[in-house]
């Protein structure tokens, strides 16, 4: 018999909620364990998300009264959507349909009570905290920031009438792929309208990082507004997501393009793949020790204002990023991370491609 229990972050079972993936993944699927303190803070009332959002945690208890599944139902009242949409996230469970069914039913019932018409997931509160389900490449080594799942999770979602909504891809780039891509994009740059005089590609000033992020805020919000799951976000909340990235800052990995007036019109953000360092920390932030060697590079985010997209700026910015990747982590795999499904400039490369998706389900009364 499976028991579904509603809990809060002050409940004794919250510790088991946090530690469940540490019991599921090791020895089965490679993953990069998150800091337990970080996940706890995301779900705590002090998270600025809860100024405009709310959530409910659920755990599944097996016959022995141990936690064998978890899920979080959440509503972001800042979400830009034509229908009332709730989310399920932080999903982890043993391979048992009864466990998944009980968790999803409890989450969906809570969302109906909030007036939601559709549920999407997996999405952990918002797109800045984590979303998407891994579909394949379970035998590949995980990189820092990659959505990782147990192979049977997609079956658990589908068996509960969740259908695919949107897909993404990650391209594994060996050094030769980086060279091929840089050469190809340089050729494309020469074939389109030039960016014009006065444009500059510059690296963010690490000594003035907070102000740099504040200056990028309008650009990021405008370009992110086209992304799946976009929600309005104030500067204070934006800073809670982007200021910690300074800890992963590498020269020329966070670039921006300035126009003649000094206004930022495009940016690209990459970070070193410190997956090994996170694994060694074992989920405890006090044990995290960044090593001198990098496990390659992850190209994570890219944005450009609409009026500049038919110029060479986009190509030039990515080429600069690829050159920095070669300088800093060229001997290792790099990852062109989580691009929206569809035609890309990387499709011609003979590289491994990893796939992910988001599911959706109508919430009938």
| Span 128-164, pLDDT tens digits | 999 999 999 999 999 999 999 999 999 999 999 999 9
Per-residue pLDDT for 188 more than 90? Answer: no
Whole-prediction pTM:
0.94
Examine the pLDDT at 189 and tell me if it is beyond 90: no
Average pLDDT, the chain: 93
Among candidate residues 309, 118, 287, the one with its CA nearest the CA of residue 195? 309
Q: Is the model's pLDDT at 292 over the cut of 90?
A: no
Per-residue pLDDT, 199: 86
Q: What is residue 197's predicted lDDT score, i.e. its pLDDT?
A: 63
Mean pLDDT across 347-364: 95
Find the helix packing angle between 209-224 and 235-242, rounded to 10°.
110
pLDDT (tens digit, 9 = 90+) per residue, 294-323? 778 999 999 999 988 888 898 999 999 999
CB atoms within 10 A of CB 218: 12
| Least confident window among 1-5, 92-96, 249-253, 353-357 | 249-253
What confidence score (pLDDT) does residue 330 get? 57
Q: What is the pLDDT of residue 345?
A: 87
Q: Residue 267: name the closest of 239, 305, 310, 296 by CA.
A: 305
Percent over 70 (pLDDT), the chain: 98
What is the per-residue pLDDT for 365?
Answer: 65
Domain spans of the chain, in order of start = 3-168+358-362, 175-332
- DSSP reduced 3-state for 326: helix
pLDDT band at residue 192 using 50, 70 and 90 as cut-offs: confident
pLDDT of residue 291: 81
pLDDT for 336 equals: 92
CATH classification (class only), 175-332:
alpha beta
Select 3-168+358-362's CATH number: 3.40.630.30, 3.60.20.10, 1.10.150.120, 3.10.290.10: 3.40.630.30
Query: What pLDDT score was predicted for residue 328?
Result: 77
Say if 3-168+358-362 and 175-332 have the same CATH topology: yes
User: Band of the pLDDT at 329, cuts 50, 70, 90?
Assistant: low
Q: Taking Cα atoms as reference points, which of 138, 159, 88 lies closest to residue 118?
A: 88
Partners of 311 in the β-ladder: 193
pLDDT at 58 over 90: yes
DSSP state letters, 63-96: TTS-EEEEEEEEEETTB--SS-EEEEEEEEE-S-
Report residue 220 as tokens.
């990021």
Residue 256 has a CB neighbour count (10 Å cut-off) of: 22
**Predicted local distance difference test score (pLDDT) of residue 326:** 84
Burial of 123 from C-beta contacts in 10 A (0-12 / 13-18 / 19+) = buried
């Amino acid at each position: 018999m499976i028991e579904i229990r509603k809990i809060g972050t002050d409940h004794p079972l919250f510790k088991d909620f946090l530690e469940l993936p540490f019991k599921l993944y090791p020895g089965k699927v490679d993953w990069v364990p998150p800091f337990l303190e970080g996940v706890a803070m995301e779900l705590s009332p002090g998270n600025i998300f809860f100024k405009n959002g709310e959530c409910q945690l659920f755990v599944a208890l097996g016959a022995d009264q141990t936690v064998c599944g978890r899920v979080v139902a959440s509503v972001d009242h800042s979400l830009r959507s034509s229908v009332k949409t709730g989310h399920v996230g932080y999903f982890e469970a043993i391979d048992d349909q009864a466990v998944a069914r009980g968790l999803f039913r409890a989450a969906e019932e809570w969302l109906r009570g909030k007036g939601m018409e559709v549920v999407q997931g997996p999405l952990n509160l918002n797109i800045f905290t984590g979303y998407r389900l891994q579909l394949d490449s379970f035998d590949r080594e995980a990189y820092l920031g990659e959505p990782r799942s147990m192979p049977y999770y997609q079956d658990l979602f589908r068996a509960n009438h969740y259908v695919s909504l949107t897909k993404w891809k990650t391209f594994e780039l060996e050094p030769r792929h980086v060279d091929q891509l840089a050469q190809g994009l340089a050729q494309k740059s020469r074939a389109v309208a030039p960016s014009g005089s006065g444009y500059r590609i510059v690296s963010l000033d690490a000594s003035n990082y907070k102000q740099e992020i504040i200056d990028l805020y309008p650009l990021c919000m405008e370009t992110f507004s086209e992304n799946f799951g976009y929600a309005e976000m104030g500067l204070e909340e934006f800073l809670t997501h982007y200021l910690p990235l300074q800890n992963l800052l590498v020269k020329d990995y966070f670039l921006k393009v300035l126009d003649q007036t000094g206004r930022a019109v495009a940016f690209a953000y990459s970070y070193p793949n410190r997956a090994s360092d996170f694994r060694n920390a074992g989920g405890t932030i006090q044990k995290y020790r960044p090593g001198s060697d990098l496990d390659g590079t992850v190209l994570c985010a890219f944005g450009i204002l609409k009026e500049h997209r038919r110029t060479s700026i986009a190509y030039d910015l990515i080429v600069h990023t690829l050159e920095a990747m070669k300088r800093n982590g060229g001997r290792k795999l790099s990852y062109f991370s989580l691009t929206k499904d569809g035609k890309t400039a990387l499709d011609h490369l003979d590289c491994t491609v990893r796939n992910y998706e988001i599911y959706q389900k109508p919430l009938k009364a």
